[in-house]
């Protein structure tokens, strides 16, 4: 994003943000309530229009980007519940659609990816249960599995630890550790780094819709790998 601005209800909620998320980065977006973190994430994904500036996903503006299977988005709140009850497996399988041919039924690879995603978040035993009957922390894991089912290169999570107990936060850290070890890119909105701290490569702090501070904590695993692998 370059000079990204977003106006909501006549108010400038993002006031000129320059942010680049590199391959293999594990970037934590922090900042006080109302500083614009969710707005920034949604604007980066093209879910909110910019009133100024420009943003690109893998080199394309969001309206021209087609390869949505490369991105897994875990929103802050559950879009599920209320409506038709769906099983954990059904919700997770819906995350596979961006990778599937539109006219073909799920292949063995699709089913294996869904099983693998459910296993990664430790919900194999609950796969046939109604997702809306699970606890908040477990529902969060269902949404994470839904994002993982598409085998994305980049995963974006808005406050994955909000309202989640310590045990589930540790479980998320383990799942994310596997993903970052595979060189995937992660963008997280976090109130506090908590158990995810050892995985974070960069923090970016927003205040009043602007970037107030940026810190690099460690080299991104993929960047380190590339440096190590490149000829001297
Ligand atoms: N649809 C909307 N219309 C008008 N204002 C909005 C809208 N959505 C968000 N805002 C305002 O924009 C500001 C930034 O909101 P945003 O949710 O991006 O902040 P945040 O940093 O993610 O906050 P939190 O940590 O509380 O989730 C807030 O002041 C919020 O009230």
What percent of the chain stands above pLDDT 90? 55
Q: Which two tokens stand for residue 164?
A: 């989640």
Residue with tokens 């209320």, as numbered in its chain? 82
What is the pLDDT confidence band of residue 80, given thresholds at 50, 70 and 90? low
Which of 156, 164, 129 lies closest to 28 in space, CA to CA? 156
Asked whether the predicted pLDDT for residue 85 surpasses 80, the reply is: no
> For 42-68, what is the mean pLDDT?
94
For residue 78, the model assigns a pLDDT of 59
For residue 155, the model assigns a pLDDT of 94
Q: Domain 2-229 is in which class?
A: alpha beta
- What is the per-residue DSSP string for 146-202? HHHHT--SEEEEESTTTT--HHHHHHHHHHHHHHHHTT-EEEEE-S--GGGGGG-SE
The CA angle 117-63-143, to the nearest 5 degrees, is 20
Instruction: Determine how many CB atoms are found less than 10 A away from the CB of residue 8.
Output: 12
Distance of CA 33 to the CA centre of its chain: 19
Compute the 3-state secondary structure of the chain and give helix, strand, coil in percent, each to the nearest 5. 40, 25, 40
> Where is average pLDDT lowest: 52-56, 111-115, 164-168?
164-168
Of the two residues 39 and 228, the one the predictor is more confident about is 39
For residue 231, the model assigns a pLDDT of 46
What mean pLDDT value characterizes the chain?
86
Of the two residues 144 and 19, the one the predictor is more confident about is 19
Quote the pTM value.
0.86
Q: Which residues contact 21 (CB under 8 A, 6 or more apart)?
A: 27, 44, 154, 185, 187
Give start and end residues of each alpha helix (H) in the chain.
37-44, 88-94, 108-120, 136-149, 166-181, 221-229
For residue 96, the model assigns a pLDDT of 85
d(CA 140, CA 150): 17
d(CA 168, CA 138): 8
**Is residue 71 within 8 Å of residue 152, measured between CB atoms?**
yes
For residue 3, the model assigns a pLDDT of 97
Residue 187 sits at φ, ψ, to 5 deg, of -120, 120
What is the pLDDT confidence band of residue 62, given thresholds at 50, 70 and 90? very high
Q: Is the CB of residue 38 below 6 angstroms from any atom belonging to ligand 1?
A: yes
Domain boundaries, the chain: 2-229
d(CA 196, CA 190): 9
For residue 59, the model assigns a pLDDT of 94
Among protein residues, the one with the nearest Cα to ligand 1's atom 18 is: 36
* 38 Cα–ligand 1 center, Å: 7
Q: What is the pLDDT of residues 63-77, one digit of tens each?
A: 999 888 899 998 876
Q: What is the pLDDT of residues 191-232, one digit of tens each?
A: 888 889 999 999 999 999 999 999 998 887 655 555 554 443
Q: Is the CB of residue 39 below 6 angstroms from any atom belonging to ligand 1?
A: yes
Among protein residues, the one with the nearest Cα to ligand 1's atom 16 is: 36
Give the atom of ligand 1 at the shortest distance from the alpha carbon of 191: 25
Q: Is 69 helix (H, G, I), strand (E, B) or coil?
A: helix
> Where is average pLDDT lowest: 2-11, 100-109, 185-194?
100-109
Q: What is the pLDDT of residues 86-141, one digit of tens each?
A: 899 999 998 887 666 566 667 888 899 999 999 988 899 999 999 888 887 788 88
For residue 225, the model assigns a pLDDT of 56
For residue 19, the model assigns a pLDDT of 97
């Amino acid at each position: 994003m370059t000079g990204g601005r977003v106006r909501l209800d006549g108010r400038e909620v993002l006031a000129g943000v320059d942010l680049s998320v590199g391959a293999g980065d594990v970037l934590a977006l922090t900042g006080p309530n109302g500083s614009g973190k969710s707005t920034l994430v949604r604007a980066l994904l093209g879910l909110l229009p910019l009133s100024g500036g420009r943003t690109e996903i893998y080199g394309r503006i969001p309206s021209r980007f087609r390869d949505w299977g490369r991105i897994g988005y875990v929103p802050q709140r559950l879009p599920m519940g209320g409506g038709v009850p769906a099983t954990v497996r059904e919700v997770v399988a819906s995350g596979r659609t961006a990778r599937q041919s539109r006219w073909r039924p799920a292949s063995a690879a699709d089913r294996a990816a869904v099983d693998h995603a459910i296993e990664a978040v430790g919900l194999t035993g609950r796969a046939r249960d109604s997702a809306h009957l699970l606890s908040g922390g477990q529902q969060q894991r269902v949404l994470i599995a839904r994002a993982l089912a598409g085998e994305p290169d980049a995963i974006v999570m808005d406050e994955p630890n909000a309202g989640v107990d310590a045990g589930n936060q540790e479980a998320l850290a383990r799942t994310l550790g596997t993903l970052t070890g595979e060189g995937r890119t992660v963008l997280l909105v976090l109130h506090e780094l908590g158990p995810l701290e050892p995985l974070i490569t960069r923090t970016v702090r927003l205040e009043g819709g602007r970037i107030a501070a940026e810190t690099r904590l460690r080299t991104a695993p993929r960047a380190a790998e590339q440096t190590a692998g490149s000829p001297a």
